[in-house]
Structure 1
Amino acid sequence: MTPPLDSDADEAWRAMLVGRFGTVRPFLKPLVEVVDFGATPEGLPVLKALKSLPELMGRKKVGPAEIDTELLAGSWRRLVLTSPQLEPGTVDWKAYTFCVLEQFHRMLRRKEVFAKNSSKWGDPRAKLLVGEAWEQAKPTVLASLGLPEAAGEHLAARAALLDGTYREVASRLPANAQIVFDDGGRLHFAALEPEPEPASLLELRAAVNAMLPRVDLPEVLLVVFSWTGADQAFTSVTGGKARLRDLHVTIAALLVAHGCNVCYTPVIGGLDALKYGRLSHVDQTYLRLETYRAANATLVAAQASIPLAQAWGGGLVAAVDGMRFVVPVPSVYARPNPKFFGRRGGATWLNLINDQAAGLGGKVVAGTPRDSLYVLDVLYDRDGGRRPDMIVTDTASYSDIVFGLLTLAGFTYAPQPADLPDQKMWRIDRSADYGAFQDAARGRIDLARVERHWEDILRIIGSIHTGAVRAYDVIRMLSRDGRPTPLGDAIAHYGRISKSLHILRLADEPGYRRQIKTQANLQEGRHALARKIFHGRAGQLYQNYQDGMEDQIGALGLVLNALVLVNPRYMDAAVTQLRADGFDVRDQDVARLAPFVRHHVNLLGRYSFQLPELPGGLRPLRDPDAADQE
């Protein structure tokens, strides 16, 4: 809403403000009187100006001494103070109102002004560990994260590591055909060649896929419940211990309805467990974010024990990425984003998947914010599974502050290399000769700045690590209008050490790049399967409130993990049988079998919720050599 720079447009702008003032005026007094606002020293002048606005309304004349002229930046000064329509010694108080509201909104977003009793708009500083609470938590936090209380030796070791890595990688550059430097000294990576698929892999994949039995989606859920008891995680919100008869059938039906986005109609049946009233009651009483997460933790643990899942990875590499949904209904939790949603609003499911293909958790956020604001919260708020060491994201989740916070939290942050060559590499020693990296390493890391803020840096990461404050609020607090605060800048400088080490490793280790690409592709495969499952109503999310979005996406995540539990069990059984039959099964080919196959699962139509007798808990495998008559 910033006014024009062209003074000729002032009158048209002023007329627009006067026209819109009628929509603003009714809520000004309630805003000041009902909401208990607080402010930092920087936000205090804006808050004082906001509280003075109701006193100005309705007065014909307001003098310059009655307003805060220090807030009149840019063209606002001209609009408020120098209009030719103003009487001498007066100001345009309506224009001043809009000026203050604009500043108020900016300060509210920066958390310089905050609503004291609000979870979303509250003051994150008030939640940080301070005083005795911090002193008591500090030893445990530092031991857990491997961080020292004094920064000197730690920073010196990080500096030596960066310096040595620059020199070592530079010495190998003549033999490295994967990178080139342009005329400006910027680093560029050659495209990774697709990893070849040997004939043995293609034959194994075809044989395994042909052996997978045909199943309906409800059977997948019911058999997973029988294997794991995950349905027991769905408890009544009232706290009652008694279980409804065939409750697991109703829960499976609701997971199909919500996960496939098809509502109740396709799952309603003749069984009492599938009547509309029963479905509605269980939906409202048993299905909520808490129970979804508990059930998901059970599935993640069960899937990690399958030999094929262990061949895919150890659970220590994970990717965080967003899956976006159009939200065509009115919702304050959906935001416009023309790139993804056209003219409509949308929401993003930011979800975490490990290298065993298990979804460890996720978070529904509005469609516009950068994913980087939420990555740490998703990592710390996992449903289950091992804590990953290495985190892969796309560049939308990248920032130097995030690099710093993730490194402090003990993660290896590995954003994909796309666009990273256009970012500066960083050094500590200005005089060091890093060969071909001399021009690329044009940024300088200020360790003294990091050391000055070290105690506050530890308190920040300690507060996040203990759950005292959300990382999202901290990252917002560390930036002001896109520019870091002094503390945020210190964390960014610390993060630039890890960022430069990451780029050097990308340049030196093709296998590292391939590992990142493989994990990112696994995430894309999960999202592709999710799109197939969430097929109803054009794949759009018809939920007005965040709780409803979280619940429905929770159902989708649980259905995905149920498939990723069933698939490797059947595939593992198929591999075992093929080996017994003398098929040439190689371990390196087994590790490349895809976890998200779906050709054998029926996702459409009306569904059956009768679980057949399954000796050993599995359907018989199909004969890969027999013609498929189904």
Structure 2
Amino acid sequence: MSDDGPAIASSIVTTLRERGSLLPAIDTIERIGLAGRAIARRRAERTLIEDISLDTLQSLDRLLEVDQSIGQTRFHWLRSAPEAPGASNLVGLTERIAFLRTLEIDPKLQMRISSGRWDQMIREGNATPAWLANDFNASRRHALIVAQVIKLGQKLTDDAVSMFIKLMGRLFSQANNRKKQRQMDCRPDTAKALRMFLDTITALQSANDYGRNALEVLDQKVGWHRLLRMKPELESMVEGNEASPLVLAAEQYATVNKYVGAFLQAFTFQSARRHDPLLAAISLLKRLHAEKRRALPDRVPVTHLSQADRRLIFGEGRPDRRLYEIATLAALRDRLRSADIWVDGSRSFRPIDEHLMPRATFTTMKDEGRLGLGVHGDGVAWLAEARQMLDFNLKRLAHRARTGKLEGIRLEAGTLIVTPTAGEVPAAAEELNAEISDMYPMVEVPDLLREVHDWTGFADHFTHVRTGDSPRDVSAMLAGVLADATNLGPKRMASASKGISAHQIGWMRTFHARSETYRAAQACITDTHTRHPHARVWGNGTTSLSDGQFFRASDRAAKRGDVNLHCGSEPGSKFYSHLSDQYGYFSILPISPTESEAAYVLDGLFDQDTILDIQEHFTDTGGASDHVFGLFALIGKRFAPRLRNLKDRKFHTFEKGDIYPALSNHIGAPINATLILDHWDDLLHLAASITTRAVVPSTILKKLSASPKESQLAKALRELGRIERSLFMIEWYSSPALRRRCQAGLNKGEAAHKLKRAVFFHERGEIRDRSFESQAFRASGLNLVISAIVHWNTVYIERAVTHLRDVGREIPDHLLRHISPLSWEHINLTGTYTWDSEQHLPEGFRSLRLPAWLRRAA
């Protein structure tokens, strides 16, 4: 079932033709489709709520009434759950989950209607405030609330578990920071102790050299009583340096105790292991918190803990409650992240198999040869081919290294050294770039967005959440997009605009701005840009790059933000974006700065709807891992990261390393081919689930890399990735063209970051949105406006080049490749935004700014 108008109309026409009926007029087909869609919606609503009792329906209606005890409607209270990690916030999430369970809405009701209809109900519910839901008829209102209750149950469960994972991670991070701080604080005492130790050694050496009594010399030179006085201080220093992270984390047990009881009681945990000791330990802790008992029983489950943790816990004979509880919660955190343990009622924390496409579907696709992957269905054949290729390429690399035939590479003491690639821009290209930049017409950013919409129609893709209609007030829609892109926000955008009110912008954002409409609008601009003749000067749209850009968080957003010391000491978020070789953005996602970028590299290649057919992808070192190399090989795309410290990375071989003597310093552990073959079908199942979009790649990659004890599937994928990384490194050493291509691609991304920083300038360029959804809107708006600027510039670059050629200038394409569409000096991004101004453009374009000699030539 679909709500899509064109799909419904097409289905009506097909059905009428199959029945041999004459096709009615277009407006009649449209009325038939609208009536059919309305009937289907009412039928789905009745199906969802038909078995719910009248009392329960009345309790659902009360969710829309203001509850005096909390000063707001329960509907709003449920949807405005806190997101910043904190003890009270986690307790607040568990309270909301407990409240939802009192409504007694069975989550299995979702299975009664099709997934497409369910998604539509969720979209409508997300956009509907309590006051508006009260105006709906009873059936629609009750169905909307039931869908929201089920969705919120899943979302709040995921949010609570994610918050618990963050709190436990922060607990140990803070413990390590306290340890480092204590070491810094005791540096004077350490220096004092080292001086005394040096004096002691000197005294003992002197006694030995002259045959004197060591204790007498020591007492004379250092002082025996002085040494004894230092003993307690030394014991304290040694104890502090050797303190276990578990012991330091347990110092904050009082904070953990505020939320752990409510958290454990709120959920049912499951495991694939029979008689899992961790589940037994969790059950014990639940009972202790429910009964408010402090002491542990004499016998407790311990096999889920490491030997080191057990020694600490039982160091005094009886188990230490605080240490035992913290160690158990840390183990729970790790196994939740790796999907080794999951939570009933969660969508994110499920077994890995439930994230992938059904096994039966995969088996059918494989038997019918419809997987469409980049590897053979036969693992033995693929490994034989990989073995032969790797052996041949390594021997050729070794020979060329010995004979000095590798361009830009030298062999020093058995180590390959890469000469940095020079990426100089020809002087003629820089002059041409400056000349064309001076020819851009001056433009206000609202006018630029309106013109790009006139060329592409991108704003029409912000369809109404229920009717699917394009926005009637395009100016208000564009103002909302610019409010996101500039970090100004809708209210301040309204106050800084002429012709647009806050109500207009708010209405457009509420009912038209969603992740899927932002994605459709982005695809519209990117596709138009990809088809533009001048875009082909920069590339053919088959290569891309991705990189993260850090933005600081402030105010309330800082409490939710994470700190990555590589980005500074302040909290913030990263916008991780994907850019084609034609400067066309096609994906962006806000991520935590502490997360590995490698997990998100593949997301952008699949979570987008453009016509781009990306075959090769560049990243820097942060986006590279053996797991990513393995997945790229499986799905049939090429991964080409710029690897830092390449000389320290090893080749992994099938053969013994001594058959490549010239590369002996570079040979690492051998490939475990047996492990790959044992899990070949699992690897194909994983890759097919990604290519069919059954699972988001980052979801699986984060789970595979999270467990302290790597799963067999993760190990097999790593082994396959080692093969691909070894082949890639060989080509990197052998091909200066690859090195230059990768460097040029990444340079485009770094240049685009400057334009993003220029556009995202309000609030000092700091993120102040707490929720992931709001940050995603900021990122999507930024990407969309940057794409509009790039396309607008591209149009006028072509017009400028055409004008120069018309007056006799010879401009070769190899110089045009260096003319970037990322300039913004001619665009007024600040000031008062005017949205209702009428522009009269000859032939639909602005006039170029021409110097005097060009005007005379024209």
Q: Structure 1's 356 and 240: CA in aligned 2 closer, same or farther, altered over 3 A?
A: closer
Q: Which residue of 1 aligns with 2:361?
A: 133
**Contact 1:361/1:383 (8 A) holds in 2:** no
Residues 164-217 of structure 1 deviation map (CA, whole Å, 9 limit, x = unaligned): 22233334332324112343x333210112335043x23422332221111111
> 2:626 corresponds to which residue?
400
User: What is the aligned counterpart of 2:587 among 355, 361, 370?
Assistant: 361
Partner of residue 74, structure 2: none
Residue of structure 1 equivalent to 2:276: 44
Q: Deviations over 1:18-47 (max 9, x none)?
A: 874444345444323321321232893212
Distance across 2 between alignment mates of 1:13 and 1:394: 32
- AA matched with 2:778: Q
Task: Please give the secondary structure, in 2, of the residue aligned with 1:427.
Answer: coil
Look up the match of 2:306. 73
For the Cα contact (< 8 Å) 1:129–1:468, is it kept in 2? yes
2:416 to 179, 187, 199: 187
Aligned to 1:347: 573
Deviation, 1:311, is 0.8
Q: Deviations for 1:543-567, whole angstroms, at most 9, x for unmatched residues? A: 1100000011111000000011101
Change (3 A) 1:43 1:378: farther
Is structure 2 residue 561 aligned with structure 1 residue 334? Answer: yes
Q: CA RMSD in A?
A: 2.9
Residue 144 (structure 1) aligns with: 372
Greater CA deviation, 506-515 or 333-342? Answer: 333-342
* Distance in 2 between residues matched to 1:61 and 1:483, nearest whole Å: 31
Q: Which residue of 1 is the match for residue 840 of structure 2?
A: 613
Q: Deviations over 1:562-588 (max 9, x none)?
A: 011101110001111111100121111
Secondary structure, aligned partner of 1:325: strand
Change (3 A) 1:35 1:191: same
Q: What is the distance in 2 between the residues matched to 1:538 and 1:449?
A: 52
Report the equivalent of 2:322.
94
**Correspondence for 1:622:** 849
Q: Note if 1:115 corresponds to 2:334.
A: no
Q: 1:512 aligns with which of 738, 741, 745?
A: 738
Once the two structures are TM-superposed, the CA of residue 460 in structure 1 deviates from its matched residue by 1.4
Q: How many residues align?
A: 616
Shift in Å, 1:142: 5.2
Moved more, 353-362 or 209-218: 209-218
Pairwise CA distance, 1:78 = 3.9
Partners of 1:269 and 1:327 in 2: how far apart? 23
CA contact (8 A) 1:406 1:412 kept: yes
Is 1:175 aligned to 2:408, yes or no? Answer: no
Instruction: Summarize the alignment of residues 33-432 of structure 1 with structure 2, pairs less than 5 Å apart.
Output: 33-41=265-273, 44-57=276-289, 58-59=292-293, 62-65=296-299, 67-83=300-316, 90-139=318-367, 143-173=371-401, 174-183=404-413, 185-199=414-428, 201-239=429-467, 241=469, 243-244=471-472, 247-263=473-489, 264-265=491-492, 268=495, 272=499, 274-331=500-557, 334-342=561-569, 344-430=570-656
| Structure 2: gaps spanning 5 or more residues | 1-170, 180-234
Which structure features the higher share of helix residues? 2
Q: Distance in 2 between matches of 1:571 and 1:17?
A: 59
Residue identity opposite 1:592 in structure 2: H
Identify the match of residue 544 of structure 1 among 765, 770, 780: 770
The alpha-carbon distance between structure 1 residues 43 and 306, as it changes in their structure 2 partners (threshold 3 A), is farther
Superposition deviation, residue 124 in structure 1: 2.5
Specify the code of the residue in structure 2 equivalent to 1:236.
H
Corresponding letter in the other structure for 1:178: G
Q: 1:175 to 1:44 in 2, by over 3 A?
A: same
1:416, distance to aligned residue in structure 2 (A)? 0.5
On the 8 A contact 2:374/2:633 being kept in 1, the answer is no
Once the two structures are TM-superposed, the CA of residue 220 in structure 1 deviates from its matched residue by 1.1
The 3-state SS of whatever aligns with 1:554 is helix
> Taking structure 1 as reference, are residues 557 and 507 closer, same or farther at Cα in structure 2, changes over 3 Å only?
same
Q: State the secondary structure of the residue aligned to 1:91.
A: coil
Mapped to 1, the partners of 2:431 and 2:398 lie a distance apart of: 42
1:250-281 alpha-carbon deviations (Å, 9 max, x no partner) = 12222222211223435547865x01221222
Cα drift, residue 148 of structure 1: 2.3
Report the Cα distance in structure 2 between the residues aligned to 1:167 and 1:279, rounded to whole angstroms.
Answer: 64
Deviation at 1:336, TM superposition (A): 1.5
Q: Counterparts of 2:639 and 2:513 in 1: how far apart (Å)?
A: 34
Amino acid at match of 2:630: G
* Residues 249 and 95 (structure 1), Cα distance of their counterparts in 2 relative to 1, 3 Å cut: same
Of the structure 1 ranges 588-597 and 170-179, higher mean CA displacement relative to structure 2 is found in: 170-179
* Residues 1:367 and 1:242: Cα distance change in structure 2 (over 3 Å): closer
Structure 1 segments unaligned to the other structure (5+ residues):
none
Give the conservation status (yes or no) of the 8 Å contact 1:361–1:384: no
Q: CA deviation at 1:72?
A: 4.5
Distance in 2 of aligned mates of 1:570 and 1:236? 33
1:222 and 1:518, CA in 2 relative to 1: closer, same or farther beyond 3 A? same
CA change 1:483–1:319 in 2 (3 A) is: farther
1:42–1:112 contact (8 Å) kept in structure 2: no
Residue number in structure 2 paired with 1:602: 828
**Percent of aligned pairs sharing the same letter:** 25
**8 A Cα contact 2:526 2:585, kept in partner:** yes
- 3-state SS of the aligned residue for 1:106? helix
Find the aligned partners of 2:245 and 2:622 in 1 and give their Cα distance. 36
Structure 2 distance, partners of 1:271, 1:603, is: 15
Please, what TM-score do these two structures have when normalized by structure 1? 0.90
Find the aligned partners of 1:325 and 1:547 in 2 and give their Cα distance.
16
Matching of residues 495-534 of structure 1 within 5 Å: 495-534=721-760
Change (3 A) 1:306 1:275: same
- Does the 8 A contact of 1:300 with 1:358 survive in 2? yes
Q: Secondary structure at the match of 1:467?
A: coil
Is the alpha carbon distance of 1:42 and 1:488 closer, same or farther for their aligned partners in structure 2, counting shifts above 3 Å?
Answer: farther
**Higher-RCO chain (CA-CA 8 Å, sequence separation at least 6):** 1
CA distance in 2, matches of 1:621, 1:536: 30
- Assess, with a 3 A threshold, how the Cα gap between structure 1 residues 307 and 42 changes in structure 2: closer, same or farther: farther
Deviations 1:580-607 (A, max 9, x none): 1001211111122112111211112112
**TM-score, normalization: structure 2?**
0.67
- Take 2:767 and 2:566, find their aligned partners in 1: how far apart are those partners? 17
Partner Cα distance (1:375, 1:242) in 2: 32
Is residue 824 of structure 2 the alignment partner of residue 577 of structure 1?
no
